[in-house]
Amino acid sequence: MTTFNPGDWWPRDRNKGQRRQRDTRQDNIGAEAALSVALCVCFAALAPPALMPAVLAALLLVAAIAWVGVSLLHGIPPGGQRATSWDAALLCAAASLLLQVGWPAARLLP
């Protein structure tokens, strides 16, 4: 009978004996950003009809802050050739701002 070794649970690279690093490239960032916007719309639909635009704008702003957190935690630099989580944060923040500017009932501040 062998002893318990928690190091056997982690996937290791056969050549180096180290754990594999997670790929920081996010190829499907557009789908993930659309999913976060759709989730915000679903949660905003639970609010009363008079408050729905304001709640949606607030949830989109929270989603943008969450995407910025993802970018910082993964160490992804802003800008570049590919779409990154910074672009998803920009998309959510822009949607929140356009909703607040375009729909007077959605203003967060008077």
Residue ranges of the domains in the chain? 28-106
CA distance 67 to 1: 47
pLDDT attached to residue 24:
47
The mean of the pLDDT values for the chain is 82
Question: How far lies 4's CA from each of 8, 12, 105, in Å?
Answer: 9, 17, 60
- Could you tell me the two tokens for 105? 């009932």
pLDDT digits (tens, 9 = 90+) for 30-81: 888 999 999 999 999 999 988 898 899 999 999 999 999 999 998 888 887 8
Rounded percentage of the chain residues whose pLDDT exceeds 90: 42
18 burial (CB, 10 Å; 0-12 / 13-18 / 19+) is exposed
16 C-beta neighbours (distance < 10 Å), count: 8
User: In angstroms, rounded to a whole number, what is the distance separating the alpha carbons of residues 74 and 88?
Assistant: 14
pLDDT above 60 (res 20): no
Q: Which of 44, 39, 37, 54 is nearest to 89 (CA)?
A: 37
Backbone angles phi, psi at 103, to 5 degrees: -125, 110
Query: Is the alpha carbon torsion for 77, 80, 82, 87 positive or negative?
Result: positive
- Specify the pTM: 0.72
Query: What's the whole-number mean pLDDT along residues 2-29?
Result: 60
